Structure 1
Amino acid sequence: MILSALLTSVAINLGLCLLFFTLYSILRKQPGNITVYVPRLVAEGKVKEGGQFNLERLLPTAGWVRKAWEPSEEDFLSNSGLDAFVFMRIFIFSLKVFTFGGIIGMFVLLPINYMGSQLSDDSEFQYKSLDSFSISNVNNGSNRLWIHFSAAYVFTGVVCYLLYYEYGYIASKRIACFYSSEPQPHQFTLLVRGIPVPPGSTCSDTVERFFLEYHPSTYLSHSVVRRSSKLQNLITDADKLYKKLTHLKQKSDPPKRQRREGCLGLYGRKVDILDHYERRLGDIEDNVRMEQSSAAAKEVPAAFVSFKTRFGAATALNIQESVNPTEWITEQAPEPQDVYWPFFSVSFIKRWISKLVVFVACTSLTVLFLIPVAIVQGLTHLDQLETWFPFLKGILRLSVVSQVITGYLPSLILQLFLSFVPPIMIMLSSLQGYISWSQIQKSACTKVLWFTIWNIFFANVLSGSALYRVNVFLDPKEIPRILAEAVPSQASFFIAYVVTSGWTAIASELFRLTQLIYNFVSRIFCRNGDDNFEPPSLPYHSEIPRIRLFGLLGVTYFILAPLILPFLLIYFCLGYIIFRNQLLKVYVPRYETGGQFWPTVHHSTIFSLILMHVIAIGLFGLKKLPLASLLTLPLPILTLLFNEYCQKRFLPIFKDYPAECLIKKDRADQNDHNMSEFYDKMADAYNDPALNPIKYSERPDSHTSPLLA
């Protein structure tokens, strides 16, 4: 790619970003869009629809930036939770890393690369290939390569220091949040799977006998899991219908209650929608009651078991309960609202098989995704396109067309295909028998991260430079050399990818185009379009892998093509302020993992450093500087030793709270007079919501007695 093509891509995406920012600053002030741009504040009752028209609402302003910047770190933590806090620390960590890397890269490495003559590019500046700004342009055997060697060591040291600091800082925040928290049911509760129920007994009786015998001083209560998957849709329908009914009753304009029965109210006879909804709600209640009666008897060999102390729960969690390790399997219970009741798989064998099936499915998806990658790489090479489509030769040789195709279109197409991956990974993770949304999202986050690294980075690198070599992974000695040949040649593609998929994607996150269109359509065709309004939660499983991919690109291309660094810095600056705004106004915390996404960030950063070292070893060999290759060998070893130390020092804190913290917290609770009331509530905390009695309608014959004692 030539410099002018990159500038074309930058201009297009910069224009889109400015357009999104301008439209956002106007549309966010419109009363009809409050459920799009401030749904969290609406749900919390801090913002209400209405207000008189004034000219200021039509003028773009940047006041949202100041409001997003104002809250202190502690205010943000108390408002959005530790998971959101950790998410923002990813941006802070990345900004620190690439600010330092950008200074070294742009003011030291880039001039050295440009002054080289290995590629002998004599074209005018705007038509120069981006390879002229990469290490590929440095002459073979040049002593200037020792500067790149030194930069690799210095950069690795700084990144490791920042990683250590962040790991320790977030671990301290995790402990501090634990100490400051009120007693929570999940701190005292375990999920027990694989309960061996003897003939003639019930699961509930078996659980009670077992824990009264082996944990008599700490056992408190239990709640047996029951199969209720068929109830989920009925309960969801009832909730939606009840929200619509409540909204209609709050309206004072009777004509709006008249509506046609057909789809979107476009056809069918007119009915009083209020009476219509009440009849439907009553019918759903009857169906729910019948299904609850049958589901109440369908016990599953699993139960949520609660203890009197946190330490008692931790003791039961960390020891093997049975001689048979496939029975009485314990794991930490999630928060009650975080439990994922559908697909509640408890069989050890079924979970093992499901993991195998999901692994095969992920592998197949990874292989199939190579098709769009090949299409994208074809667009970056105009000579291939002319071979495939000779009738387009005249059009492709036009300067503007070629610049748009090579600089903008490939990244856009790849991003469109990639948008389908996170929902698929969520679906696959939900089939693995995880008990909570947080576990599903953490699993999907890991899947999406490695899928992204393989298909966006390695697949593009190994297919885009005519290196269709299957034996790259069969001979480990060849990996550094092949990567050293392939990775620098794809620098221009990844610079354009950062601009296209980074800048525009982060700006569209602020603009929320999809939600805006849905809101507009629903307000036109469904006058009660905000009945089903529910504030969203941040999709960590898709956002964290995207951020870490850009982090990998920055670390990998630090010494190869430092021109990418300023574009990454712009992305992380935009991401920091935009996501602070979204977390304060849009996204509501759905669960709290205590910052358990950070180890994934740490591991991906270590992987990025190792990849940079491997490429540097091969690159110095290609550049006829074998001594530099030899002296680079300790770098990955030292980095892995540092990672091992962090694993021992910090990772256990993210898995379980230490006994010191648990006992201190338990002792503090002994002086709390509300603990007896808390214990009473905890007995019902993990009852399946689908089995709770419901009463939405006002019918006098509605049954409301509880199903279970």
Structure 2
Amino acid sequence: MLQTGFFGCSGSDVDAIDYYKSEIEKIGKEEADEHKKVMKDPKSIMPAAFVSFRSRWGAAVAAQTQQTSNPTVWLTEWAPEPRDVYWNNLSIPFVSLTVRRLIIGVAFFFLNFFYVIPIAFVQTLANVEGIEKALPFLEPFIETPTIKSFIQGFLPGLALKIFLILLPTILMFMSQFEGLVSHSSLERRTASKYFIFLFFNVFLGSIVTGSALEQLNTYLHQSANDIPRIIGVAIPIKATFFITYVMVDGWTGVALEVLRLKAFIMFHLKNFFLVKTEKDREEAMDPGSICLYWSEPRIQLYFLLGLVYAVVTPLLLPFILVFFALAYVVYRHQIINVYNQRYESGAQFWPNVHLRIITALIVSQLLLLGLLSTKGLEEATPALLALPVLTIWFHKYCKHRYEPAFVRNPLQEVMRKDTLERARERNFDLKAYLADAYLHPVFKSNEAGKFYVADDPGAEAVIVPTKRQSRRITPVQSEDGGSGRLNLMESVHKR
């Protein structure tokens, strides 16, 4: 065994030491040559990089300005924090990103369009008359009062829920194929797709296929000017369906969120088959983070239903209010005490949420105009046209006035933070901290993130303080981020 120190040595020992030294130098040269060879390989060079700055001011200037006269060279944007990076997409060339997004746009359109077919088929059969026509031999069984009430009340909502189980996962895979480089941007893009899908297939699709499709004969024998009136009549008819849908999908979903049956089953399967060490047990018990791309669009769908049916069928409102009350209590508890959020995006989700709220307001106002036209109140329609116009103006005002605060970092604020940091943390070794902040998780050690104090080699490392002090609440670091610490200095991601 080769040791690092010697107390004494003979001539033969000196020869052995020289031999070991020569072998070590040889191995070092071979590793250096191999490293140079890898660096020269075009496949080893990524078209993106993370650039860290000594100050927030420098990062803000670099991220928010154009670097060259050629707009296709040195494209910079704010980098996500280290835990938020989705490393699999960093190696995608910039040109292929546009092609990927075009492919996903076309694929999402066809998915959204053709998904109406099974939903329309289920909505047509999920009533007593449809089942009796398709399966006449079940007529005596269906006419039983209990079975008939179940079919008319819960079967449509249950069938629609089953068809939507795998949809969020499919949409997440589509967003990953687009080439987004952070978990937060993946969730934002997936949430937008999911809300569009719910709007067209669950809201409009259920109305058109469930009620208006039954009036197809009326469509064929009426002029095109009467179609809005027919749809206006069909909207109140589907109020019963949406009441049952809120109970089946909303109330049941909140109850399942409390039970967490999926996490419970997965933990016991992992504990039985995979857990061999204490670290494996901690990883199996990791609750993960809340799936915003799945839960947030559903909540906004119920918000849309409440706005639309507040005037048409106010009976739906108590069911919506009960859902929001339960969801507030349950999700507040889960976020504070259960989930371990794997990233912090700085409220980047809110502009998308605001846009969908404005969309729900405009849709409810337009449907109100259509409903009033079916009730013989055409003279009130011109006065109500101001509502969607004012709502759109309000959205443009908010977008122009407040959205820059979510995408830009004011130079005044970054200067203030830099000054405070230099005054309060004079011994903070920024270079040592940034040495592996954006290192790939494969190359990271399992040690927790630490602060490094310069000019004091005997000082002990201090663990980075976080909002969650309990090891029980945050047992392990994030899946892909490797390190559980937050990025103290803003960084820039360039392509």
Question: TM-score w.r.t. structure 2 length?
Answer: 0.75
Unaligned 5+ runs, structure 2: 1-30, 448-495
Show the counterpart of 2:405.
653
Q: Tell me, in whole angstroms, the C-alpha distance in 2 between the residues paired with 1:373 and 1:459.
A: 8
**2:48 match: secondary structure:** strand
Counterparts of 1:430-509 in structure 2 under 5 Å? 430-467=176-213, 480-509=228-257
Please say if residues 191 and 296 of structure 2, whose CA atoms lie closer than 8 Å, have aligned partners that are also in contact. Answer: yes
Contact 1:345/1:351 (8 A) holds in 2: no
- In structure 2, how many angstroms separate the alpha carbons of the residues matched to 1:303 and 1:542? 31
Kept in 2, the 8 Å contact 1:380–1:405? The answer is yes
Q: Is contact 1:345-1:433 (8 Å) kept?
A: no
* CA 478–538 in structure 1, closer or farther in 2 if over 3 Å, else same: farther
1:420 to 157, 166, 191: 166
Matching residue of 1:378: 124
Q: CA deviation at 1:345?
A: 4.1
Q: Secondary structure at the match of 1:558?
A: helix
CA distance in 1, matches of 2:195, 2:135: 35
**1:530 aligns to what SS in structure 2?**
helix
**Could you tell me which residue of structure 2 aligns to residue 548 of structure 1?**
300
Q: Which of 68, 74, 77 is the matching residue for 1:322?
A: 68
Do the aligned partners of 1:481 and 1:615 also contact (CA within 8 Å) in 2? no
Distance 1:324 1:366 in 2: 38
* Counterparts of residues 51-450 of structure 1 (less than 5 Å): 298-450=44-196
2:281 maps to what in 1?
A: 530
- Three-state SS of the structure 2 residue aligned to 1:663 is helix
CA separation of 1:477 and 1:647: change in aligned 2, threshold 3 A: farther
Matched residue of 1:671: which SS? helix
Cα distance in 2 between the residues matched to 1:555 and 1:435 = 35
User: CA offset at residue 631 of structure 1?
Assistant: 1.5
| Structure 2 counterparts to residues 573-592 of structure 1, below 5 A | 573-592=325-344
Query: How far is 1:612 from its partner?
Result: 1.1
Which of 324, 346, 350 does residue 598 from structure 1 map onto? 350
Q: Which AA in structure 2 matches 1:452?
A: L
Partner SS, residue 416 of structure 2: helix
In the other structure, the counterpart of 1:570 is: 322
What letter matches 1:494 in structure 2? F
Equivalent pair of 1:372/1:414 in contact (CA under 8 Å): no
Q: What is the aligned residue count?
A: 402
1:519 is matched with: 267
The CA deviation string for residues 256-310 of structure 1, in whole angstroms up to 9 with x for no partner, is xxxxxxxxxxxxxxxxxxxxxxxxxxxxxxxxx9xx9787661113211122222
Report the Cα distance in structure 2 between the residues aligned to 1:653 and 1:434, rounded to whole angstroms. 22
Partner AA of 2:397 in structure 1: Y
Distance 1:396 1:477 in 2: 39
2:27 match:
none
Q: Write the letter of the residue equivalent to 1:362.
A: F
1:592 maps to amino acid: E
- 1:295 and 1:496 map into 2 onto residues whose CA distance is 61
AA aligned to 2:353 is: V
Could you report, residue by residue, the CA deviation over 1:222-253 in whole angstroms, capped at 9, with x for unpaired residues? xxxxxxxxxxxxxxxxxxxxxxxxxxxxxxxx
Q: Distance in 2 between matches of 1:693 and 1:503?
A: 43
- Of the candidates 644, 653, 660, which is equivalent to residue 396 of structure 2? 644
Q: Which residue of 2 aligns with 1:635?
A: 387
SS in 1 for 2:311: coil
Contact 2:127/2:151, CA 8 A, preserved across alignment = no
The structural deviation recorded for 1:672 is: 3.5
State the alpha-carbon separation in 1 of the partners of residues 60 and 224 from structure 2: 44
* 8 Å Cα contact 2:54/2:430 also seen in 1: no
Q: What corresponds to 2:377 in structure 1? A: 625
Q: Does the 8 Å contact 2:47/2:91 carry over to 1?
A: no
Tell me how far apart the structure 1 counterparts of residues 191 and 432 of structure 2 sit (CA, whole Å): 36
**Deviation digits for residues 471-507 of structure 1, max 9, x if unmatched?**
9xxx998785454233222111111100111101110
Task: Check whether the contact 1:326–1:348 (CA below 8 A) recurs between aligned residues.
Answer: no
Give me the whole-angstrom Cα distance separating, in 1, the residues matched to 2:98 and 2:373: 45
Closer, same or farther: CA 673–349 of 1 in aligned 2, 3 Å: same
The answer to whether the 8 Å contact 2:48/2:91 transfers is: no
- Kindly provide the amino acid, as one letter, of the partner of residue 350 in structure 2: W
CA contact (8 A) 2:308 2:368 kept: no
Rate the CA distance shift 1:612–1:693 in 2: closer, same or farther, 3 A: closer
Partner SS, residue 69 of structure 2: coil
Q: 1:544 to 1:390 in 2, by over 3 A?
A: same
Query: 2:190, 2:427 → 1: CA distance?
Result: 37
* 1:672/1:478 CA distance change after superposition, 3 Å: farther
SS, match of residue 559 in structure 1: helix
Q: Which residue of 2 aligns with 1:12?
A: none
- Mark the CA change 1:661 to 1:476 in structure 2 (over 3 Å): closer, same or farther: farther
Residue matched to 2:17: none
Residue 21 of structure 2 is matched in structure 1 by none
Taking the aligned partners of 1:632 and 1:594, their CA distance within structure 2 comes to: 38
Partner of 2:77: helix, strand, or coil?
strand
1:680 is displaced (CA, Å) by 3.1
SS in 2 for 1:606: helix
- Name stretches of at least 5 consecutive residues in structure 1 with no aligned partner: 1-288, 696-709
In 1, the alpha carbon distance for the partners of 2:392 and 2:134 equals 46
Separation in structure 2 between the aligned mates of residue 563 and residue 594 of structure 1, nearest angstrom:
38
1:401 corresponds to which letter in structure 2?
Answer: I
Write the distance in 2 (CA, Å) between the matches of 1:666 and 1:557: 51
Call closer, same or farther: CA 1:694–1:655 in 2, change over 3 Å. Answer: closer
Determine the structure 2 residue equivalent to 1:119. Answer: none
Q: Distance between the aligned counterparts of 1:357 and 1:494, measured in 2?
A: 34
Question: In the alignment, which of 362, 368, 373 is matched to residue 610 of structure 1?
Answer: 362
The secondary structure found in structure 2 opposite 1:342 is: helix
What is the rounded CA distance, in whole Å, between the counterparts of 1:654 and 1:546 in structure 2?
Answer: 24
Report how far residue 663 of structure 1 moved: 2.1
Cα offset, 1:592, TM superposition: 0.5
Say whether the 8 Å CA contact 1:377–1:460 is kept in structure 2. yes
Secondary structure of the residue that 1:641 maps to in structure 2?
helix
How far is the alpha carbon of 1:560 from its aligned partner? 0.5
Residue 694 of structure 1: CA displacement?
Answer: 8.8
Determine if the alignment matches structure 1 residue 682 to structure 2 residue 398.
no
Task: Indicate conservation of the 8 Å contact 1:481/1:618, yes or no.
Answer: yes
Kindly state the Cα deviation for residue 544 of structure 1 after the two structures are TM-superposed. 0.3
Query: How has the CA–CA distance of structure 1 residues 404 and 516 changed in structure 2, closer, same or farther, with 3 Å as cutoff?
Result: same
Question: Residues of 2 paired with 1:693 and 1:644: CA distance?
Answer: 47
Instruction: Note the aligned Cα RMSD (angstroms).
Output: 2.7
